Structure 1
Amino acid sequence: MTKAASKETIKRRTIEDMKKLGVHKTQYNRLIDIYSELVHQYLELTIEFENGGYQFQVETDQGGAKKSPIVATLENLRKDILAYSDRLCLSPKAFENVTADTGKKSVLAEALKNLS
């Protein structure tokens, strides 16, 4: 049986990824906590969905069918995870729009500074 990564593992990996991208700041740790919890819930529910045979519809009292609650929850978690990923600059689209503070100065900036 597959086991989902723990919230702490997800948090640690998220911080590592953000550091590699040059976008991590300790002030973001509360957002990272929420993001980690959302990803953990998503992984747990995905395993439950798989173990349930991917039942994506349930019967209604009227005899029809509707989307199962687990599918609706997974969809909402995906949307929330995407929103937090964007805020934490973990998605390619969000990262495109960010200038990370790498601590390095451009060659031009150094040359201009030396002229003064």
Structure 2
Amino acid sequence: LVRIYAGMVRQYYEALKVWEEEGSPISTLSASNSTKKHPALDQIEKLRKDILSYSNQLMLNPKSQRDSETKQEEKASPFAQFMSQSGGGGSG
């Protein structure tokens, strides 16, 4: 998973560099003389979305770490679950 993430980041920066060297075109003409999104820009946007998805899975950003901590806090310990089910949660 880490190798895939690293490869995508590398592809992203290479595609971004090439796109900027071409003058950062937003659109291009299609075969039917209509305008469409430049293929390099489309590739950059897809890579950006994939990188974000993988960074969440790898917990590389603060939001994914916070979400993980919240999920862990929501899960009660097995002992706490046993105590609440058995009615042994009171004092005395």
Asked if TM exceeds 0.5, the reply is: yes
Q: Does 1:90 align with 2:90?
A: no
Match of 2:50 in 1: 80
RMSD: 1.0
Name segments (4+ residues, structure 1) moved above 3 Å.
Answer: none
Report the equivalent of 1:39.
9
Alignment of 1:1-116 (within 5 A): 31-99=1-69
Separation of aligned partners in 2, 1:62 and 1:33: 40
Render the CA deviation track for 1:9-49: whole Å, top value 9, x for unaligned: xxxxxxxxxxxxxxxxxxxxxx1100000000000000001
Which consecutive unaligned segments of at least 5 residues does structure 2 have?
70-92
Q: Deviations over 1:78-105 (max 9, x none)?
A: 1100000000101221011224xxxxxx
Q: Which one scores higher on RCO, CA 8 angstroms, separation ≥ 6?
A: 1
Identify the residue that residue 103 of structure 1 maps to in structure 2. Answer: none
| CA distance in structure 1 between the aligned counterparts of 2:64 and 2:34, rounded to whole angstroms | 41
Give the aligned length. Answer: 69
User: Equivalent residue of 1:97, what SS?
Assistant: helix
